[in-house]
Homo-oligomer: A and B are copies of this chain.
Amino acid sequence: MTEDLDVRGGGWLSPEQLDGARESLPIVYVDAVPVRVDYAGVITHVGLLLRARPDGSISRAVVSGRVLFRERIRDALLRHLEKDLGPMALPRIPAAPAPFTVAEYFPDASVTGFHDPRQHAVSLAYVVPIDGDVEVSGSALDLAWVTPEEATGPDVVVEMTGGQDRLVRLALAACGRLP
């Protein structure tokens, strides 16, 4: 998951306080799997953010981040999608509030298979069709649109961490597009 720099003043935690809370409370997250769909709603492509690792290799990830105090899930999805995909992406936030799955990221990778060494994050995961034009920003180098077959193939899977490759498979399965 991307590092979250949205912590600000007001009633919110300071970075030090957030670090403290991260060690003792589950943190609410959202995961958004960006997709392109055809006229009939069938997923044709999955969008994966590319980032450079310190060692020069590439990592891939879906859009992900923390839900802020007094922020609706829907607004957290919009905020993280705009932060990563730019203001012209036109994401289609789902009408239904139920996520397709809940990814429980634990500091211990063996509990659920979803892993985050920094914290216990409970992440509500949604498939979000993207209608507009993507301009990646922040820490991402690019957004790669790959087919469902590519997204579940070994070349892509090896570049994803924390269980996000599995999250993509669960998203495709929920949409009947798991190969």
Contact = CB atoms under 8 A, between A and B. Distances in A.
A67 interface: yes
A178 B170 contact: yes
Contacts of A23: 11, 69
A124 B96 contact: no
A26 B12 CA distance: 10
A57 interface: no
B99 A25 contact: no
B41 A101 contact: no
A95 B24 contact: no
Contacts of A102: 73, 97-99, 124, 176
Rank and list the top 4 A-B pairs by shortest CB-CB distance, nearest first: A173-B173, A41-B93, A40-B74, A97-B176
Interface of A: 11-13, 17-18, 20-21, 23-28, 35, 37, 39-43, 67-75, 78, 92-102, 104, 106-108, 111-112, 120, 122, 124, 127, 129, 166, 169-170, 173-176, 178-179
16 contacts: A11-B23, A11-B24, A17-B20, A17-B24, A18-B25, A35-B95, A40-B72, A42-B74, A70-B108, A72-B111, A95-B127, A95-B175, A96-B175, A98-B102, A169-B178, A173-B178
